[in-house]
A = this chain, B = another copy of it.
């Protein structure tokens, strides 16, 4: 499918580029559609293109040697992935799979790399992104060290609504919350354990289900007390 400069403008990162450079970049890009469960990027593989998500939802997953999934993150429209090789020409670190049918724009890494050299704001943006990723990974790792299960779950929930609405500290909503299974994978727990924790959290009115696509947090402050360990169970 053909990629227009206007399409590239959809992506915040590429908006940083000088407008006149978009047409040539667009020529080198391609668009591809993927069905649910398709694999977009393979871990351990040298990729020569980055993946910009136009629509749908992607997920980064990792596997242990015994086939269990571990650790993961989500990619939303406008965001991208597979950019790590820009900095060290290394291989892809995790699998990227499709959660809901997706349209992806492939951008050649070499062009992106060249653009990074030309356009300092692009470079600093990408750098900041890596830094953010490191912070997230560090945080996620510290979650895995928590001895108390409920605390781990609450901390993860806290992370999931992070930047949005955490500021005003009243009630919050997590839309498209991960399934119990996905949370279990992120926190290195079993699915059943997550279910049980959620049952307990609902009983204590820490969270409420609002259909399948929304998870309400009546009191962010309450969630926080469980997340930081000052209250238990």
Contact = CB atoms under 8 A, between A and B. Distances in A.
Contact of A71 (B70, B71, B138): B138
B70 A130 contact: no
As for how many copies of this chain the complex holds, the number is 2
Given A141-B140, A145-B188, A65 B228 contact: yes
A111 B64 CA distance: 42
A213 interface: no
B131 A66 contact: no
B70 A142 contact: yes
Contact of A127 (B66, B127, B137, B151): B127
Contacts of A141: 62, 70-71, 137, 140-141, 144
A94 B135 CA distance: 10
Q: By DSSP majority rule, is chain A's interface helix, strand, loop, or mixed?
A: helix
Nearest to A132: B88
Interface stretch (A10-18, A34-42, A45-53, A116-124): A116-124
A134 B65 contact: no
Nearest to A229: B65
Interface in A61-90: 62-66, 68, 70-71, 84, 86-88, 90
B137 A134 contact: yes
Given A66-B229, A93-B134, A137-B134, A87 B145 contact: no
A211 interface: no
Contacts of A65: 146, 151, 228-229
Given A65-B151, A90-B135, 18 more contacts: A62-B142, A64-B146, A70-B141, A70-B144, A71-B141, A87-B124, A87-B127, A87-B131, A88-B127, A88-B132, A117-B120, A130-B130, A130-B134, A134-B137, A137-B137, A140-B141, A141-B141, A145-B188
Interface of A: 62-66, 68, 70-71, 84, 86-88, 90, 93-94, 117, 120, 123-124, 126-128, 130-135, 137-138, 140-142, 144-148, 151, 188, 228-229
